[in-house]
Chain A
């Protein structure tokens, strides 16, 4: 009975009401999964050495999160509280296997490059975190928007970090060289790539700088200590 009234109220709401747009928009800045909610850091560090894998990874996460949020939201009243983790992981693992197979079929070279990290989407805590915090207590459409929004927020940071790291680390972007060859010291120039940018610690420091810029522009996110 109670769920029925909720359903009715939701249906009368316009599809892109202010509240629903907020669900989609907030994760891009105010409630970003990486810089504010602190979820999904591992892959942000691991695959941001180059831009291309980061973009493919972001798209895969958008798909897994949107579809997973819909499925969990449909099942939310049937999942016993005690075994919810296993149910969620099964859903995620099935979706990740789907993504893996599609990538293998149509984008084999990228899939080969990403192989380990596609598997690691299963343990990407951003997905589990949103299942727990949102899809378990909200309707299908809202969960879908929340999933797309959060995955997009994750993708934005991933792409930003990988642009920085690929450009300063190897002087290329999407595999294309941007620094003229004659600039390099080997050819008598003045420029040298910063190999440090390719090491994992620099990913952390790049994310820290992004956080700094974001919070300097958005002072309500500043923490107490």
Chain B
């Protein structure tokens, strides 16, 4: 149990998707205009990461890795499909995103129209593929650990995007130099937040 809490906390603060690895920046920057839309996108990312990481974990351990097909029979023990990793992971992610898109369109048209082009872009949100690849690289022991890691990464992204959106809502009242308004100042804010989050690095629970 303590191990799970450890993975969760590490994924949120120490190995934060946005601040420690700078993954998923595109949607992070583009959909952080208001807290409301950023809440929607953050929730969608938690959902997609929480689903795709365990599915890709199963895929990795029962299909793709070397010798993973042994459960089919002893003659498959030498099959190594790991060169298919990228395309299999991205296929799972894309189909999950399509599912989320349909569900959101059906049940929350307002959110759907406000997320616009960026909902399909979750599929190419590097943090989603990054989550699956980190899961593979760190070789978590079982599916519970992988799911907890996926959820933690999603929560980390959620915190980052909501915090940025809150700062951007306030900065509207500040007198930023003209050319820096909008995107420029957002980059600087993210850079400063990134430097702040770097202080979490190296902490072990």
Q: Which residues of A contact B (CB under 8 A)?
A: 35-36, 38-42, 45-46, 82-86, 89-90, 93, 96-97, 119-120, 122-125, 127-129, 132-133, 199-205, 207-208, 211-216, 219, 221-225
Are the C-beta atoms of B124 and A35 separated by less than 8 Å?
Answer: no
How many B residues are at the interface, by size bracket?
A: 35 or more
- Residues of B close to A127: CB separation below 8 A: 124
Are the C-beta atoms of A205 and B181 separated by less than 8 Å?
Answer: no
What are the 5 closest A-B residue pairs judged by CB atoms, nearest first?
A223-B182, A215-B179, A208-B187, A204-B191, A41-B25
Separation of A219 and B177 alpha carbons in the complex (Å)? 12
Q: Which listed segment binds A: B44-52, B54-62, B92-100, B139-147?
A: B92-100
Separation of A84 and B124 alpha carbons in the complex (Å)? 13
Are the C-beta atoms of B90 and A204 separated by less than 8 Å?
Answer: no
Are the C-beta atoms of A89 and B90 separated by less than 8 Å?
Answer: yes
Are the C-beta atoms of B125 and A123 separated by less than 8 Å?
Answer: yes
Chain A residue nearest to B197 in the complex (CB)? A201
- Residues of B close to A36: CB separation below 8 A: 183
Are the C-beta atoms of B187 and A89 separated by less than 8 Å?
Answer: no
Are the C-beta atoms of A128 and B29 separated by less than 8 Å?
Answer: no
- Residues of B close to A205: CB separation below 8 A: 187-188, 191
Are the C-beta atoms of A122 and B29 separated by less than 8 Å?
Answer: no
Are the C-beta atoms of B188 and A204 separated by less than 8 Å?
Answer: yes
Separation of A90 and B102 alpha carbons in the complex (Å)? 20
Instruction: Say if the beta carbon of B198 comes within 8 Å of chain A.
Output: yes
Are the C-beta atoms of B179 and A89 separated by less than 8 Å?
Answer: no
Chain B residue nearest to A118 in the complex (CB)? B86
Separation of A221 and B183 alpha carbons in the complex (Å)? 11
Chain B residue nearest to A126 in the complex (CB)? B26
- Given contacts A42-B25, A212-B184, A225-B171, 6 further A-B pairs with CB under 8 A are A86-B95, A90-B87, A122-B90, A124-B124, A132-B117, A223-B183
Are the C-beta atoms of B126 and A225 separated by less than 8 Å?
Answer: no
Binary flags per residue of B173-191, CB closer than 8 Å to A gives 1, else 0: 0001111111111011011
Are the C-beta atoms of B178 and A222 separated by less than 8 Å?
Answer: yes
